[in-house]
Amino acid sequence: MNLFGIGPLEFLLILLIAIIVLGPKGMVQAARELGKFIRKVVNSPLWQEVVNASREIREFPRKIAQEAGIEKDLEDLRKSTQGTLKDIEKVHLPHIDTFVEIEEDPHPSSEEPSNHKQSNG
């Protein structure tokens, strides 16, 4: 689980530091103030504009397809590829156990005919 790029351990560290710095009573007051601030932001007209703009951006491709009259064609294409996508997910590639390691020489010389790595076993 990541929230704003912060994992669970980072979140716990931030919480621990906040408890140490603010103390238990300060944490309650800080949480109350944060709740008031979030409520104020969510109820603001600016936030509603951001939500509406986000919704319009998500719906934009569908709206263009609908206006161009290709919405039905796209839906047919989506339905025809459903089986193909499921077949692709079922493909299992075998694990390759052996490989040859080749060491690349950035400045090949004419003295060494091969660039294969040799082991002295």
State pLDDT tens for residues 30-46.
889 999 999 999 999 99
Side chain identity at 46, as an amino acid letter?
L
pTM greater than the 0.75 cutoff: no
The two structure tokens encoding residue 48 = 């509603």
pLDDT of 112 over the 90 cut:
no
CA distance 7 to 21: 21
